[in-house]
Structure 1
Amino acid sequence: MESKTSSTSKIAASLLIIINGVTLICCTVLFAFSLWLIASPGSLSNAVHSVGTPAIKALLAPEALSVQVGVATAAVSGFMVCISLMGLYGAVSRSQFLLFMYSTLVLLLLLLECALLYYFSSTLTEKGLLEQDGQWTHALRLVFSCCDTDVTLGAEVKPPWSCCGPAWYPDNCTSTQIYEKDCRQTITAWLHRYQTAIYASLAVLHIILSSCSLVRRRRSVSLSDR
């Protein structure tokens, strides 16, 4: 029984180390880019336009690379770095406090992510794409190869570049070249098809991480009681 418990704890620790290690690397890279954006938006913009694909160049245009975006990205990525470090170090050191805090934060993140997903999906379903949402609207048009109904119906309105694709950035898109699919209908159909699977995947991932941290913590408690 003791051997089985130890084996389960090692498996839980391995999962925590692998997942949090990958997350830590990705968030650290994102944090570094956000600091670069805060320190020198111009040089980052030049780097993006030197090596980026047409879609990346269009989405990460100079006007989109602002200090405010850098600060927000640094805050989010820095927070994720702290949580990943907590889970990684807690799994390695068997710290009861860190593992408990990590488990709690992971469940709170699940609630936050589900709330944000519900809010944005409801907004997209009810209102469609809104220009005040900025680059997200362009990204969604490119991903779904769609355009807005009000753009396709109004020939006098100049379509956004993303209604034609990244090759037409910044203002070469015309009403004769736009995507045929309507964004609101396309995104709504996609959400109806995959929304449940997305919620389930988020729940499974976070519950597994939380359970692994509690299993590892339980093993630590049993060792400390000896």
Structure 2
Amino acid sequence: MGKNKGSRVAAAILISTNLLFMIFCSMLFALGLWIISSPNTIIFYIQAYGTPIIKVLFPREFLDVQLGIALSLLAIFFFFISLMGLYGAIKCSQFLLFMYSILVFLLLLLECALIFYYTSNIIEKGIQVNDGHITHVLRLAFRCCDNYTAEHIQPPWSCCGSEGYPSNCTADKSYTKNCQETITIWIQKYQAIIYSSLAVLHVLLSSCSLLRRAYSASSSHT
């Protein structure tokens, strides 16, 4: 009886969590298709209703077909993983539940590796120009700037906030906090929480999947 109750709780967690992920993936896929099919329309809505920061972070040249394809493929990938967990939990499929638990664990390793790579890069080298659009996001989020003290060097627009877009930023108007130092302090403060949160979520889903699978296996033998 206790095992049956535990299996039902595990199934409820799997179904609710994966259903939310599937809804999110569907929205992300729709956004990707929208960018692919009609980028001008989404640009119009951003310019008409978006905040100043949203407007400068998503310029016309950023919302291209490549971005739409990348978002769509990413949404499809995570949608099918969530569908595997949802269907496996409902039908008690031993194969789907086992594959889902393995994929969830592998995703945990991949996410931790990516976070470690990028955070280590920032701590060691600071914000790099070849990081692309993410550099503007980091400067705006942390209200910081790199070392642009020379008068003949114009800082990137994001060093002055959204009002510096596209080329209205000067050294005397830029943020005074150094990005490498500011982001390093933030990472050292919150990295344990980030890794722990990721681990708890993925281990919980993987454990629920294995628990549901164990109940399915025991039921098939009785």
Q: Report the TM range for the smaller structure's normalisation.
A: over 0.9
Name the residue aligned to 2:130: 132
Matched, 1:172 2:168: yes
CA distance in structure 2 between the partners assigned to 1:19 and 1:154 by the alignment: 51
* One-letter amino acid matched to 1:177: K
The alpha carbon displacement at 1:154 in A equals 2.0
Q: Deviations over 1:150-171 (max 9, x none)?
A: x2x2222111111111133222
- Rounded Cα–Cα distance in structure 1 between residues aligned with 2:48 and 2:90: 41
The 5 A counterparts of 1:74-223 are 74-149=72-147, 151=148, 153-223=149-219
Q: CA RMSD in A?
A: 1.2
Deviation at 1:115, TM superposition (A): 0.9
The aligned runs of 1:44-63 (5 Å cut-off) are: 44-63=42-61
TM-score, structure 2 normalization: 0.96
Shift of 1:77: 1.5
Q: Distance in 2 between matches of 1:8 and 1:167?
A: 55
Which residues in structure 2 correspond to 1:8-27 (within 5 Å)? 8-27=6-25
Q: Equivalents in 1 of 2:21, 2:125: separation in Å? A: 33
Task: Provide the C-alpha distance between the structure 1 equivalents of 2:212 and 2:46, rounded to a whole number of angstroms.
Answer: 42
Shift of 1:52: 1.3
Classify the secondary structure of the residue corresponding to 1:62.
coil
Aligned residues: 222
Amino acid at match of 1:188: T
TM-score (norm 1): 0.94
In the alignment, the residues of structure 1 paired with residue 206 and residue 150 of structure 2 have an alpha-carbon distance, to the nearest angstrom, of 51
The superposition leaves residues 5-62 of structure 1 with CA deviations (integer Å, 9 ceiling, x where unpaired) of 1111111111111211111111110111011112222222222222211111111111
Q: Please state how far the C-alpha of 1:182 moved relative to its aligned partner.
A: 0.5
2:65 maps to amino acid: V
- SS of 2:61's equivalent in the other structure is helix
Question: What percent identity do the matched residue pairs reach?
Answer: 51
**Aligned equivalents of 1:224 and 1:51: distance in 2?**
56
Q: How many Å separate the matches in 2 of 1:14 and 1:161?
A: 48
Letter paired with 2:145: C
